[in-house]
A and B are shown apart, each in its own frame.
Chain A
Amino acid sequence: MGMELGKYKTCVSARSTDKEILKKAQDGGIVTSLFVYALENGIIDGAIVSGQGDRPWKARPYIATTKEELLAARGTKYNISPQISWLKEATRSYGFDKLGIVGVCCQMQALRKAQLYPVGMRDVPDKVALAIGIFCMENFPYKSIQQLVEDHAGQKMQAVKKMEIGKGKFWVTTERGNTIALPLKITHKYEQPGCHVCLDYVSNLGDISTGSVGSPDGWSTVFVRTKKGEETWNKAVGAGLFETKPIEQVKPGLELVTKLANEKITKNKKHIEERATFGVNKGLRNPYI
């Protein structure tokens, strides 16, 4: 295929050197560390992160303007957080001229569409200073996550300490130390349907994109993609924020990332084809032109 990992300038395995950030980080603490650095060095005025909603583990977009607020948003929540819904508001009510935003692949696509075709995104295009994309295989509606945790794993939502998808399983770890691993066979049907036409796995359109896949436990794989991304990344590494290793020297490395990217893209391309002949002489829409 060739383009499954998108354009990038460098790719490394990295983890934050900040012990406090790592404590509750999903993997290498990349997003939190970068935003804290960018905030403290005037690269961004604040960032749209995925914060805590009105129910346990419910995600919602949150505008963070302090280190504390950034730290509070650590960890992956595996349910929909409409990050872009605050994009215009962040430049208006919050008055940001230099905006940070983190989101999954489709949200990076939405962000770039907002910049190139700002139909309803007045004054947004020139104010995006740092967009960090997350690797994403699929996402879940909140009710799906609730069903998986409560009905399948048999745990209370508020008792969960960490959720994670990896090694072919959906892992739920509770505060008391229970670990439940649900096979992905069970989780598949609860996925958000819109994810099944998604043709991006590693946030090809982020300034920087990151995820656990490809790196050892506790580390993250990082793609540095744009000039803006490179500038911030180099400064942050120079300031000692991250330990890094060349991606070629870690296991499982880019081979696994490429494999999973291809699997996702191939599966979803097939799904898009099937949609075209969904009915009798009638198909479902294909948004890609």
Chain B
Amino acid sequence: MPSDVKMEKKVEVSKKEEKPVSNKITAGHVHLSGCTGCLVSVADNYNGLFKLLDDYVDWVYDLTLADVRHVPEMDVAFVEGSVCIQDHEAVEEIKTTRKKSKIVVALGGCAAYGNITRFARGGQHNQPQHESFLPIGDIIDVDLYIPGCAPTPQQIRNVAVMAYLLLKGNDDQKKLAGNYLKPLMNLAKRGTTACFCDLMYDVINQGLCMGCGSCAAACPVRAITHEWGKPQGQRDLCIKCGACYNQCPRSWYSFDVMNEFEGIMDIIDGAMK
């Protein structure tokens, strides 16, 4: 093993870009107990992904795509999957990620809320004792959530562009990006559980629901229907991804951001051209 690691390091050096774009941010993908669906969503930006990698982001770590074995220093770590607390390596990996990254992003429902891994009971060969999975926010401080199962390519793109503007943009861009990212940063402070119940507790029971239907559209397992105009969740179907809650305009809504929707979409389009 140790000799392997040395090899990797050599390869890494020889693969450095010849003319690095110095202004890029560094980012990587940390893969814990997730299905790789989040990473596939990153890739589903297709040409957009190449644009992101060409102009804005150096992708410095990714067990699936980049030949680097250990979590390096990076500006933004996108963590996919929850942490199996019986898996020593996973626990170490998330702690190291925290130490080495400026911004830790919980990418997807499992990292943010546990999602489908909440239902794990262990018993899988060859580590049947691996039975307890926690969202990363239960182990480390997290800076920002990108919820969703899978998170959408466009949400990942929007955050990537905004993170770039926040770290490298001019003052106006920094302010705009800060406003955009703030609600997603608030989510990281709000907690590590989510399900259809959050809509009940924080929106419907609070007298805030106006029947727009965003929750039903957002649900990846079609657990939500509208009866008499109001959402009904089939709670047995709910995988606890938090998409409904976060898509709902009455869970959180920022006028500062939303009133600038056209300008922001133009900025994102422009950045991706």
A interface residues (Cβ-Cβ under 8 A, vs B): 3, 6-7, 59, 61, 79-89, 103, 106-107, 109-110, 112-126, 139, 141-143, 192-199, 204-205, 226-227, 284-285, 287-289
Query: Contact at A288–B254, with CB atoms within 8 Å?
Result: yes
Please report which residues of chain B, range 7-31, place their CB below 8 angstroms from some CB of chain A when the two chains form the complex.
none
Contact B183 A289 (CB under 8 A): yes
A118 near B154 (CB under 8 angstroms)? yes
Whether the pair A84, B212 counts as a contact (CB closer than 8 A) is: yes
Give Cα distance in the complex from A196 to B206, angstroms: 12
Q: Is the CB of B206 within 8 A of A121?
A: no
B200 at the interface (CB under 8 A from A): no
Contacting residues, chain A, for B250 (C-beta < 8 A):
194, 197, 287
B134 to chain A, nearest CB (A): 21
Number of interface residues of B (CB under 8 A): 58
B158: Cβ under 8 A from any A Cβ: yes
Partner of B228, one of A119, A142, A193, A196: A142
B244 lies within 8 A of chain A by Cβ: yes
Contact status A106-B247, CB under 8 Å? no
A141 to B228 alpha-carbon distance, docked (Å): 7
Q: Judge if B182 is at the interface, Cβ distance under 8 Å.
A: yes
* With A117-B155, A122-B152, A194-B209: A289-B182 Cβ-Cβ less than 8 Å: yes
Contact of A192 with B249 at beta-carbon distance under 8 Å, contacts A119-B152, A123-B153, A205-B258 already known: no
Is the CB–CB distance between B207 and A121 below 8 Å? Answer: no
> In whole angstroms, how far apart are the Cα atoms of A107 and B253 in the complex?
13
Contacts of B150 in A (CB 8 A): 122
- Interface 1/0s, chain B 75-91, versus A by CB < 8 A? 00000000000000000
Apart from A84-B217, A110-B214, A285-B206: 8 A-B pairs, beta carbons within 8 A: A110-B213, A112-B261, A113-B253, A120-B247, A122-B41, A141-B230, A197-B207, A289-B254
Question: Which 5 residue pairs spanning A and B have beta carbons closest together?
Answer: A120-B218, A82-B213, A85-B213, A80-B229, A120-B243
Decide: B207 and A113 in contact? CB cutoff 8 A. Answer: no
B229–A79 contact, CB under 8 A?
yes
Q: Cβ of B211: which chain A residues have Cβ within 8 Å of it?
A: 80-82, 139, 141, 192, 194
Assess the A7–B216 pair: CB atoms within 8 A.
Answer: no
- Chain A residue at minimum C-beta to C-beta distance from B258: A112
* Chain B: CB-nearest residue to A192: B210
**29 A-B residue contacts at CB 8 Å?**
A80-B229, A81-B211, A84-B214, A87-B214, A88-B217, A88-B218, A107-B213, A110-B213, A110-B214, A110-B249, A112-B261, A116-B180, A119-B243, A119-B246, A120-B152, A120-B217, A120-B246, A123-B152, A125-B158, A139-B211, A143-B228, A193-B207, A197-B207, A226-B262, A287-B251, A287-B252, A289-B182, A289-B186, A289-B252
Q: Give the distance to chain A from B232, nearest Cβ to Cβ, in Å.
A: 11
The interface residues of chain A lying within 8 Å CB-to-CB of B148 are: 119-120
A6–B259 Cα distance when bound, in Å, is 8
Whole-angstrom distance between the Cβ of A69 and the nearest chain B Cβ: 19
Min CB–CB distance B94 → chain A (angstroms): 23
Given contacts A116-B265, A119-B147, A122-B153, is CB(A85)–CB(B202) below 8 Å?
no
Knowing A142-B229, A193-B207, A284-B206, say if A118 contacts B213 (CB, 8 Å).
Answer: no
Q: A121-B247, A289-B253 are in contact. Are A116 and B261 (CB under 8 A)?
A: yes
Identify the closest chain A residue to B246 (Cβ).
Answer: A119
Chain A residues, Cβ within 8 Å of B53: none
> Please, which residues of chain A bring their CB within 8 A of the CB of B258?
109, 112-113, 116, 205
What separation, in Å, do the CA atoms of A109 and B254 have in the docked complex? 10
Is B63 part of the binding interface, using a Cβ–Cβ cutoff of 8 Å?
no
Q: Which residues of B contact A226 (CB under 8 A)?
A: 262
Contact of A7 with B210 in the complex, beta carbons under 8 Å: no
Q: Please give, as numbers and ranges, the residues of chain A lying within 8 Å of B244 by CB-CB distance.
A: 120
Task: Name the distance in Å between A269's Cβ and chain B's nearest Cβ.
Answer: 12
A50 CB to nearest chain B CB (Å)? 11
Residue B208 CB within 8 A of the other chain: yes
Nearest residue in A to B153 (C-beta to C-beta)?
Answer: A122
Q: A33 vs B206: C-alpha distance in the bound complex, in angstroms?
A: 39
Closest to A122 in B: B152
Decide if A287 touches B208 in the complex (CB within 8 Å): yes
Given A117-B247, A120-B247, check contact A284 B207 (CB 8 Å): yes
Q: Nearest chain B CB to A123's CB is how many angstroms away?
A: 7
